[in-house]
Amino acid sequence: MPGTLYIVATPIGNLQDMTARAIEMLRSVDVIACEDTRHTRKLLNAYDISNKLVSYHEHNEQERSDELGRLLIEGKSAAIVSDAGTPGINDPGFRLVTKAHEIGARVVPIPGAVAFVNAVIASGLPTDSIFFGGFLPAKTGERKKRLLEVKNIPATLVFYETPHRIEASIEDCLNVLGDRKASIARELTKLHEQIITGKLSFLRSSLSSARPRGEYVLVIAGDGGTGEAEPKQGNIADRISELEAEGMDRKSALKLAAKEFGLSRSEAYRDFQNQRTDN
């Protein structure tokens, strides 16, 4: 019988966010694969764990997955951890998990911290539908192209960012997405944790007053989410006529106007009927 691969989340800053189950698993497996053995050794020392570590990072992912796969085939158990948070989330892990499935090993996630989830829940933006885009491209041209691709996604947008790119990224978000509501989560769970909320223009000005440091997650309202634009005021029947005059059919015009006025489609239809009768 092949062994088990445990995907073990570790803290994103605060050591106390290590779960009891994570500690138990890291103690009991045959080997722990990690990005940086010195970094993980410090974490293990804090919990009196003296298990065997092997390095597993983006440059040796394929080779190590094969080696660890062989151990799993022999019935051994392995854990994978990353430098911070959940392995596989913008960190190595994916190849080893694929390998484990291929050889019929059991794959068990041990849940814990993930930076983007905590940034979203603290942002005050809708959490019912989320688009996690990992890191935005480093170069402005590619970044703007990516932002154009996600502009119309009706879900809260979330990106990881580095301190030296956060300002440029916010500037590009502002230009491509408009002045949407947003939030920055900085240094989550650490001493200098900070959650800033406001429109993108506000976030830009709050960042420019201090040299950005630390780790950042950028959360932005999705298309049609709260904050892209204030709901339109005025006569919805006029707006629907205007859209129809531009060539839109009645159904699409009603749908778009409802969105612009911040109404459900049935509310928009009711107002449309009433206002048409009044005119």
| Residues near ligand SAM (CB under 6 A) | 12-13, 82, 84-86, 89-91, 114-116, 160-162, 185, 187-190, 215-217
The crossing angle, in degrees rounded to 10, of helices 166-177 and 200-208 is 160
**CB of 160 closer than 8 Å to CB of 197:** no
Compute the least distance from the CB of residue 113 to ligand SAM, in Å.
6
Residue 12 or 174 with smaller CB distance to ligand SAM: 12
Residue 69 or 93 with smaller CB distance to ligand SAM: 93
Q: Is 22 exposed, middle or buried (0-12, 13-18, 19+ CB in 10 A)?
A: buried
**CB of 174 closer than 8 Å to CB of 145:** no
152: Cα within 13 Å, side-chain hemisphere = 1
Residue 75 or 134 with smaller CB distance to ligand SAM: 134
Compute the least distance from the CB of residue 227 to ligand SAM, in Å.
21
Residue 21 or 276 with smaller CB distance to ligand SAM: 21
Please identify the residue of the shown chain whose CB is closest to the bound ligand SAM. 85
Six token digits for residue 1: 């019988």
Strands 216-220, 156-161: parallel, antiparallel or unpaired by DSSP? antiparallel
Compute the least distance from the CB of residue 11 to ligand SAM, in Å.
9
Compute the least distance from the CB of residue 169 to ligand SAM, in Å.
11
Residue 96 or 253 with smaller CB distance to ligand SAM: 96
Residue 119 or 174 with smaller CB distance to ligand SAM: 119
Residue 84 or 207 with smaller CB distance to ligand SAM: 84
Compute the least distance from the CB of residue 160 to ligand SAM, in Å.
3
Compute the least distance from the CB of residue 83 to ligand SAM, in Å.
7
Q: How far is CA 194 from CA 79, 122, 169, in A?
A: 32, 10, 18
Compute the least distance from the CB of residue 214 to ligand SAM, in Å.
7
- Return the ∠ at Cα 197 (arms to 194 and 200), rounded to 5°: 120
Residue 213 or 270 with smaller CB distance to ligand SAM: 213
Q: How many CB atoms lie within 10 A of CB 247?
A: 8
In one letter, which amino acid is 27? R
Alpha helix positions (H), the chain:
20-28, 37-46, 61-73, 94-102, 115-121, 140-150, 166-177, 200-208, 236-245, 250-261, 265-278
Compute the least distance from the CB of residue 162 to ligand SAM, in Å.
6
Q: d(Cα 228, Cα 22) in Å, to the nearest integer?
A: 40
